[in-house]
């Protein structure tokens, strides 16, 4: 089965990753339509040895399209997803526009694949937040075995999560520092070079940022775990690509690091890298452009009684599995069912 595909936001970082992965994974494309803003219309992009011209995203851009991948921003998704659905497309949306609407499935294929087929009349499937994906892929198989009660997450998120301009700012600040020049801050809220910033997304009235609350909201929805208790602190770090998370997990049942390693070795989408004696643990430089989430530093949480707690460290490429790859895997689920 081959399908007509459109990418809304084709010229952005995630859009470019869509193109690379669709070709790499031999996604069965009958026709491909690349869509972006009027400013980007007319650009030429290569896919599978052929040159494509980027078209301006309009209400009538989705005629004949069957799978529409959106990565152009939440307001764009809200405006144009209904047009794509009306044209008969299934929308796989990589923004936060629809994640928290009860009737819109929020899917990580390794965790809740069946939810993808509940897209209903609105024909929208939402892709989770990138940090949620990195954290939940190792958490869920442990939850199935031991019953997760509470999760504490601290994230160390790459500057690429803030966009191309933020990446350029880190590069420029690094050059200016080496040259002894004053450092300019325009994009990030504070200097990011040689620094960390404990704020990602907007602060809420309860003192959390929206990024931090996503872990709880999305974790409950994806894992169908409405009683989950969770808290998070999200930090921007001067790393170009791949997010890292530290997890402290409290379970209903006793567990051991040895049992956790065995479970995670057999978990889809996860690779165990855990041998402190040989300095083996996942780091962003080595997990960039990799499909799997690397997991290491697995140990007993000594602050929790009766061996019911684990600590672990997970790293994943937020542009790949945290964005484009996860969305493409959702499309592949649909293809297997002839949709």
Under a CB-based contact definition with an 8 Å cutoff, are residues 238 and 196 in contact? yes
The one catalytic residue in 67, 83, 143, 243 is 243
User: DSSP states of 213-238 as a string?
Assistant: HHHHHHHHHHHT-TT-EEEEEEEE-S
The one catalytic residue in 130, 234, 255, 311 is 130
CA distance 218 to 313: 20
CA distance 312 to 221: 22
Q: Rounded to 5 degrees, what angle do the CA atoms 199, 203, 207 make?
A: 95
CA distance 317 to 106: 19
Nearest to 29 by CA among 70, 83, 67: 67
Report the first-to-last Cα separation within the chain, whole angstroms: 9
Q: 31 vs 25, 28, 201, 253, 332, CA distance in Å?
A: 16, 9, 36, 51, 16
CA distance 11 to 324: 13
Helix spans in 179-310 (H): 210-223, 257-265, 284-287
Under a CB-based contact definition with an 8 Å cutoff, are residues 273 and 292 in contact? no
CA distance 265 to 257: 12
**Which helix (H) or strand (E) is 77 found in, with range?**
helix 74-86
Strands in 262-308 per DSSP E: 270-272, 293-300
CA distance 148 to 272: 20
Instruction: Indicate if 243 belongs to the active site.
Output: yes
Active site residues: 130, 243
């Amino acid at each position: 089965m081959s399908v007509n595909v459109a990418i809304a936001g084709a010229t952005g970082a995630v859009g470019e990753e869509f193109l690379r992965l669709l070709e790499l994974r031999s996604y069965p494309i009958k026709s491909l339509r690349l869509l972006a803003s009027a400013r980007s219309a007319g650009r030429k992009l290569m896919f599978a040895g052929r040159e494509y011209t980027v078209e301006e995203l309009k209400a009538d851009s989705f005629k004949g399209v069957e799978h529409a991948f959106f990565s152009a921003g939440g307001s764009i998704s809200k405006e144009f997803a209904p047009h794509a659905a009306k044209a008969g497309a299934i929308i796989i949306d990589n923004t936060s526009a629809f994640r928290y609407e009860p009737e819109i499935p929020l899917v990580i294929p390794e965790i809740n694949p069946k939810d993808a087929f509940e897209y209903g009349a609105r024909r929208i499937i939402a892709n989770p937040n990138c940090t949620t994906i990195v954290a939940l892929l190792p958490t869920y198989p442990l939850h199935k075995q031991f019953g997760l009660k509470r999760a504490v997450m601290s994230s160390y998120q790459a500057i690429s999560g803030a966009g191309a301009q933020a990446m350029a700012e880190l590069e420029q600040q690094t050059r200016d520092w080496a040259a002894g020049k004053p450092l300019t801050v325009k994009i990030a809220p504070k200097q990011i070079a040689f620094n960390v910033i404990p704020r990602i997304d907007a602060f809420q009235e309860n003192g959390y940022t929206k990024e931090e609350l996503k872990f709880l909201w999305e974790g409950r929805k994806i894992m169908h775990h409405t009683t989950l208790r969770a808290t998070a602190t999200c930090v921007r770090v001067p790393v170009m690509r791949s997010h890292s998370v530290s997890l402290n997990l409290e379970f209903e049942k006793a567990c051991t690091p040895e049992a956790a390693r065995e479970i995670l070795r057999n978990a889809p989408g996860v690779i165990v890298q855990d041998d402190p004696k040989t300095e083996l643990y996942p780091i962003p430089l080595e997990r960039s452009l990799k499909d799997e989430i690397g997991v290491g530093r697995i140990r007993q949480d000594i602050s929790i009684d009766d061996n019911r707690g684990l600590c672990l460290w997970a790293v994943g490429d937020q542009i790949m599995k945290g964005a484009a790859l996860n969305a493409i895997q959702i499309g592949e689920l649909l293809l297997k069912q002839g949709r």
